Amino acid sequence: MVNPSKIIEGGVEYSLGTFDGKSVEYDFQKILVYLDSKGKLLFGKHFKIYDDDRDIILKLCNYFVRDQKACEENEIDLDKGILLSGPVGCGKTSLMQLLKHLVPHQRPYSLIPSRNIVFAFNHLGYKTIEDYGNGSFFCFDDLGVEPIGRHYGKDCNVMGEVILSRYELFISNKIKTHATTNLNAQELEDLYGNRVRSRMRQLFNLIAFHKNANDKRK
């Protein structure tokens, strides 16, 4: 039997908690040890888990391991995706790349820079929006800083259209979408309009870093 409470990385076995044959009781301190080690493997030896981020990481871990009680206490809906917001350099992208490794038994998502989707639209047109409106799992990185798309002389708010497509998928098939953004709720509404912002509320759980969170890239 596969034991989901243990993960092997680089020949080292990490325990994430205890498994009774039916469910895992996760231990956050053990999870942090694993995430720190996996982060160094993914991003280099400079990677570290910051004490200031522990509350955010705990919420994200509770979501990904599907701890229903903890998520209910934090008003996190397990059926929705995650919109992780915060200032530039606070570690949003790294965390979303890292945390999917915590649950290798769950279906993984692909992390795609939003600007790359716009560049693809400029080249291929509306087929790009169709491609991202399929049943695959995605995390759209840096939502809101991408340029406006332009194909054969026509402008298109590409990510706004993609979000509407992802919303339809969520309603019909419970297909989740995740995203990271540097923008706040008002900035997102100004950029994408009230209709898209309304869909985003239904599509995402908002988890936000403090606006003064440190820039880890400095």
39-91 tens-digit pLDDT:
999 999 999 999 999 999 999 999 999 999 999 999 999 999 999 999 988 89
Least trusted range by pLDDT, from 78-87, 114-123, 146-155 = 146-155
pLDDT at 211 over 60: yes
- Residue 11's pLDDT band (cuts 50, 70, 90): confident
Strand partners, 138: 110, 177
Give residue 92's pLDDT. 95
| Unique residue bearing structure tokens 């599509």 | 203
Give residue 218's pLDDT. 66
* Cα pseudo-dihedral 180, 182, 186, 192, rounded to 10: -60
Indicate the pTM of the whole model: 0.93
- Count other C-beta atoms under 10 Å from residue 84's C-beta: 28
How far CA 154 is from CA of 126, 150, 159, 165, 193, in Å, comes to 11, 5, 15, 20, 19
pLDDT tens for 183-205 read 998 999 999 999 999 999 999 99
Host H or E run for residue 174: none
Q: What is the mean pLDDT of residues 153-157?
A: 92
Question: How many angstroms separate the CA atoms of 216 and 17, rounded?
Answer: 29
Q: What is the mean pLDDT of residues 29-39?
A: 95
Q: How is residue 118 written in tokens?
A: 């716009």
Give residue 73's pLDDT. 96
Give residue 168's pLDDT. 95
What share of the chain has pLDDT > 70, as a percent? 99
- Give the pairing type, strands 154-156 and 110-113: unpaired
Domains of the chain: 77-208 (3.40.50.300)
- Cα angle value 55/174/209 (rounded, 5°): 20
Host H or E run for residue 178: strand 177-181
Q: How is residue 173 written in tokens?
A: 């098939």
Decide: 55 and 178 in contact? Cβ < 8 Å: no
Question: How many angstroms separate the CA atoms of 211 and 215, rounded?
Answer: 11
Question: How many angstroms separate the CA atoms of 190 and 186, rounded?
Answer: 6
